[in-house]
Structure formats: structure tokens, C-alpha cells
Structure 1
Amino acid sequence: MQLTFEQLEGKDVLEHEGLQALYGILFESPARMIEPPVSKNFRAWLVLSDDQAIGFKAGYELKPGKYYSWLGGVHPEYRKKGLAGSLMELQHGWCSTNGYQTIQTKTKNKWKSMLILNLKHGFDIIGTYTDSKGEPKIILEKNL
């Protein structure tokens, strides 16, 4: 198994067939990933195994100086290998190099592995709210 990492930007994120297929698996959805609400610096970092997308981390600029880590995940067969953390480090490195001072993300308590990963990578819980489906969400932020 040969792993490679790739960075996509803008429409290339939405047009990458491997990423779209992985999105369907991770989010149990026949629909394709939609364009985010903000498209400034919309990017995705992918990890590929023998040219097949097995993980990704996507985000966009929330406001000047603040980046939002929007979506991500690793194929179930490739979890527990540090790939999500590697993708996070690539994203955060790019953000830091490109002038962002903070990065924000949101998760749900039911996704404990994602919550723990964020905490291990320096995020702090800065708030909570209830989403439109009535589910509590946790807001996390990290200074870069």
C-alpha cells in the first residue's frame, strides 16, 4: 500500500470523483458533496492509497484570519492509522503559512473519535449550540 497526499482547491474539490465516492461512503449519502457556504480558499487535502481516495479534510475561509475545517473523514478500513491527524496537520500547516491565526471546527458528542482527535491536536471547546435538527453541536477553535 503506497500512500500519497494531494491538495485540491475550488471546483477541483467538487469534481474529484474519488473524493465524491469517499464522501458517499463516509456520510452514507448518494448525494455528492455540495459547495460550502463560503468559497474563499475552499480546499481539500486527500490521502490516497494506490490512487484511491481513502481520507480527506476540507475547509474554507470563515473570515480574514480564521479558517473553518468543514468536513473530513477516513474510510472505515483505514482508520486508526493516524491518517486523520496527518490530514489535520497538513491543513493547519497550510493555514498557518497562508496567514490564518485561528482554525475553527464543529462536531457532535456522538462522534467521540473526532472530538478526541481535535482536543489532542490543540483545539479548545469554545461553545455549544443546538442545530436545526435539534442535535447539540460542539464548537472548537485552535490558535495557530
Structure 2
Amino acid sequence: MNIVTSTEIDRGKLNGLHKRIFDSDNIVEKFRFKPEIVATMAWDGEELIGYKLGYAQNESSFYSWLGGVHPERRKEGIGEQLLLAQHRELKKRGFTYVETKTMNRWRAMLLLNIRSGFCITGTHTNESGDVMIMLRKRL
């Protein structure tokens, strides 16, 4: 497995994996509503098996927006490796904080974030009525 962080993204492979993980709409379409996306991607040869997407909120804070691991590759530690690689890269780029949001239904992600040093900073209800758990970590 090879982990790479870049703003150069194979949008076709990313969109295919995203649909497989979340069974939802085209993630690439949402890029146009975000600042420049930075992707930390896990590759097994030519196959994209996991990703974490995010963007700078300001010069010191990065928002880790979305991520996932191929359903057949879960429980291999790929998500944790992606998170750690993303945080190393953010620190190199001069960020002080990383923030994220999750929902209770994504319990594995919530627990990984807490184990990795994130603190819960609050909650809010999104437009769909889901309770979002906000987290922040000093890098």
C-alpha cells in the first residue's frame, strides 16, 4: 500500500470509491463548492482503496471533510494510516489545528478520531436533522 497526499486527484477513481462506500451522489460535483481540496489517498497498485479529503479554513486550521475505506479493505488499519499521514502532512504545511465533524452512526470514525487526539468541541444539527459531532485536534 502506498499513501500519497496531493491536490492532483484521479476524480474518476475517487468518485467510484466514494459511491461504493457511501452509495451516494457524485462527490466530485461537490468540489466546486469547496476551496482547493487536498487528498490523502491509499493506493494498492492502481486501485484507490481509501481517502481523506479536506481543505484549509484559514492559515492555521484545516478542515478534514470526508474520508472512507473500501468496504472489503476495512479492519486493516487503513483509515488510521490515512489519518496519521494527513496530520503529518498538515503539520509540514504549517497548520496548527485540524477539525472535522462526524455522526454517531459512523462510530468507528468517531472512536478513531478520539483515540488519535481529537477533542469533541460541540454538536449541531444539520439541514437533514442529523446531529453532527464537531472535533478538533492540535497538531
Q: Same fold (TM over 0.5)?
A: yes
Partner secondary structure for residue 110 of structure 1: helix
Distance 1:17 1:108, change over 3 A: same
Q: 2:21 aligns with which of 17, 21, 26?
A: 26
Q: In the aligned structure 2, how far is the partner of 1:49 from the partner of 1:32?
A: 21
Partner residue in 2 for 1:35: 31
Q: In the aligned structure 2, how far is the partner of 1:36 from the partner of 1:137?
A: 23
Deviation at 1:24, TM superposition (A): 1.0
Partner residue in 2 for 1:4: 2
Q: In the aligned structure 2, how far is the partner of 1:29 from the partner of 1:139?
A: 22
Deviation at 1:52, TM superposition (A): 0.4
Q: In the aligned structure 2, how far is the partner of 1:37 from the partner of 1:95?
A: 22
Distance 1:5 1:25, change over 3 A: same
Matched, 1:58 2:53: yes
Partner secondary structure for residue 31 of structure 2: coil
Partner residue in 2 for 1:79: 74
Matched to 1:85, the amino acid is: E
Identity %: 34
Q: TM (normalized to structure 2)? A: 0.93
Partner secondary structure for residue 129 of structure 1: strand
Q: In the aligned structure 1, how far is the partner of 2:130 from the partner of 2:50?
A: 25
Cα RMSD (Å): 1.4
Alignment of 1:1-144 (within 5 A): 3-9=1-7, 12-13=8-9, 15-33=10-28, 34-35=30-31, 37-40=33-36, 42-144=37-139
**Structure with the bigger percentage of helix:** 2
Q: Which consecutive residues of structure 2, in runs of 5 or more, have no partner in the other structure?
A: none
Q: In the aligned structure 1, how far is the partner of 2:120 from the partner of 2:138?
A: 12
Q: In the aligned structure 1, how far is the partner of 2:101 from the partner of 2:40?
A: 18
Contact 1:38 1:62 in 2 (8 A): no
Q: TM (normalized to structure 1)? A: 0.90
> Which aligned segments of 4 or more residues in structure 1 are displaced greater than 4 angstroms?
none
Partner secondary structure for residue 111 of structure 1: helix
